[in-house]
Amino acid sequence: MQKILVARSIFPDVIERLKQYFDVDWNQGDVLPADELKRRLADKDGALTAGEPIDASVLAAAPRLRVVSNMAVGYNNFDMAAFNAANVLGTNTPDVLNESTADFGWALMMAAARRITESEHWLRAGKWQKWSYDSFLGSDLYGSTLGVIGMGRIGQALARRARGFNMQVIYHNRSRVAPQIEAELNAAYVSKQDLLRRADHVVLVLPYTQENHHTIGAAELALMKPTATLTNIARGGIVDDAALADALRSRQIAAAGLDVFEGEPNLHPALLSVPNIVLTPHIASATEATRRAMANLAADNLIAALGEGPRAGQPPNPINPDVIGKARS
Ligand code: GLV
């Protein structure tokens, strides 16, 4: 039987599925530090990860490894140049999380715009003495302008929901989406600067790459309206968190909703002390149904990539399909 490492705790029934095909080494404890990950991968043919960094040194320590299946759509934890050089396949879990993640983007955006967590903290602290006309004034979503940066599958799912709020949708993306998608979403392509100047609510849904590092920093925040909100459901590092904390503290922008952070699970301490922010621990895809779908898709990818099961040799979501069938180097 081929050997695999499941680096994280996942649904036990998915582990049972994997055990039908593989000898499974399952880490149910803390995230494995790099040296322990390398040790556990030394004799493995495949691995299922959820954000563990996999670079050339990890692949070198795992000479039998042929596939790493990430239980996430984002795979910035994979050094794909190293995967290609070693002929190791990477896979991810796109699509199954689009709607849950788009829902959550709205939840964060609405909570930020209407100051839900800020007012709840105040209420819980026993500060509510009387109703007042100017308590926690926020900004409207209905009839406002939504700015989506990153118009991929999740960005489109998010933008599709704007119709019910009678919002104007503007977007920026590496490249324009097809005209029929623009028409369906009633979305207009604009430059990043234009979007930041015009949007009432900016949502980030782009993958993390070197080029996207600090897509939103001090200069970009300075372009935004003082009434605007910023929501990040993409990846830590796309926003300069220190600059954002400054912009929130000085009310350069009204509020932010963040599900992802630079250096998570550690947060920039300044983010914890600004009031006009909604913070969640990377849970945008966290519904029971979606996380199950992601875990099963990650398992499907691993099973098929290692030549087992009904789709043997044809994993559904190869990131670098050119390496399929090539000998490990
Ligand atoms: C979650 O962050 C994912 O990339 O799926």
Short-list 291, 297, 251, 292, CA closest to 274: 251
* 12-19 vs 288-305: helix crossing angle, rounded to 10: 20
Q: Which amino acid is at 320?
A: N
Query: Average pLDDT, stretch 212-223?
Result: 98
pLDDT at 130: 97
How far apart (Å, rounded) are the C-alpha atoms in residues 227 and 229?
7
pTM above 0.75, yes or no: yes
Quote the ligand 1 centre to 122 CA distance (angstroms). Answer: 32
Q: Quickly list DSSP for 94-110.
A: -STTHHHHHHHHHHHHH
CA geometry: angle at 10 spanning 7 and 12, to 5°? 120
Mean pLDDT of the chain: 98
pLDDT band at 91 (very low <50, low <70, confident <90, very high): very high
Domains in the chain with CATH codes:
3-94+288-323 (3.40.50.720), 98-279 (3.40.50.720)
pLDDT at 291: 98
pLDDT at 129: 97
Task: Find the residues whose C-beta lies inside 6 A of ligand 1.
Answer: 72-74, 97, 285
Query: Average pLDDT, stretch 69-80?
Result: 98
pLDDT at 81: 98
pLDDT band at 32 (very low <50, low <70, confident <90, very high): very high
Please state the atom number of ligand 1 nearest to the C-alpha of residue 75.
4
Residues with a catalytic annotation lie at 235, 264, 282
How far apart (Å, rounded) are the C-alpha atoms in residues 70 and 300?
11
Retrieve residue 243's tokens. Answer: 């600059």
Q: Which spans in 143-264 are helix H?
A: 153-160, 179-185, 192-198, 218-223, 241-249
| 15 neighbors 26 (Cβ within 8 angstroms) | yes
Percent over 90 (pLDDT), the chain = 100
pLDDT at 250: 98
Residue whose CA is at the smallest distance from ligand 1 atom 4: 74
| 4 neighbors 47 (Cβ within 8 angstroms) | yes
Residue whose CA is at the smallest distance from ligand 1 atom 3: 72
pLDDT tens, residue by residue, 267-326 = 999 999 999 999 999 999 999 999 999 999 999 999 999 999 999 999 999 999 999 999
pLDDT tens, residue by residue, 106-150 = 999 999 999 999 999 999 999 999 999 999 999 999 999 999 999
pLDDT tens, residue by residue, 276-287 = 999 999 999 999
